[in-house]
Structure 1
């Protein structure tokens, strides 16, 4: 079984724990009961901004967790590398609209930005893994070749 470049089970588990914490914070931040009534000033615009960013942020985190679950399944032998490559691509999401973010309270805005940074990290890892040379030997094959060369002297 191959191994995605720049990623290993420990990294995936750490990112998965971080994703769960962020997802819980997102759920708490966008639990709308009572919050919409408290919005002052630009009620309609603020309500729309909060709703749009809630949907965008929860979707971003849902796809992040799904990507991590696919990698966990791969490392547990439940998915092949082919299946991971084919079905485990991280969905790209546009960043939040600055005009909408301006209407949202600073704590929630900071959380939204944290989810964007987290998703960007996963995108870099995913892109790095997908850019590797498919004809390059696996880590095990490369190690075997090094051992063979060193044994020959």
Structure 2
């Protein structure tokens, strides 16, 4: 079986830059809608839909940023691998927006929601691959440590 690809600083940095740009676009687009008074023109149902999607999208992007920041800190030596394992988990499975909910939004907002879901899915895949790689390595490392201790005690 082929081992999952490892996460490296370049991947994390590229995704972090993408997530920052997306976070800024999401904030600007949803704030613009509120500031321009477009919510009033949308009607109650659409206004609620825009608010819900704004919250979901922002939450999705912020979870991605938190995960990426933890991994950046690890690669910079600011936190240990143990700290990363404890605190660097992607939080929960955030609900995806339905196609109907996205279609009800203005096109630019729908695009941002879709982009946030794609980014989140990429981070989920990286998280799973990273955890799977670690799960495969832990028993090997434990066996190697046991062999070293046994070897040292026999000398």
Deviates more, 1:29-38 or 1:67-76: 29-38
Output the TM-score relative to the length of structure 2.
0.79
**SS at the partner of 1:89?**
coil
Show the 5 A alignment for 1:1-153. Answer: 6-31=6-31, 32-34=34-36, 35-39=38-42, 43-91=43-91, 92-132=93-133, 133=136, 134-136=138-140
Q: How far has the Cα of 1:6 moved from its partner? A: 1.7
Q: How far has the Cα of 1:5 moved from its partner? A: 5.4
Output the TM-score relative to the length of structure 1.
0.80
- Within 2, Cα distance between the matches of 1:5 and 1:75? 16
Equivalenced residues, count: 132
Pairwise CA RMSD? 1.8
**SS at the partner of 1:135?**
helix
Q: How far has the Cα of 1:56 moved from its partner? A: 0.5
Could you tell me whether the CA contact under 8 Å between 1:95 and 1:116 is conserved in 2? yes
Gaps (5+ residues) in structure 1? 142-153
- Within 2, Cα distance between the matches of 1:107 and 1:33? 16
- Within 1, Cα distance between the matches of 2:83 and 2:131? 13
Could you tell me whether the CA contact under 8 Å between 2:40 and 2:47 is conserved in 1? no
- Within 1, Cα distance between the matches of 2:83 and 2:89? 10
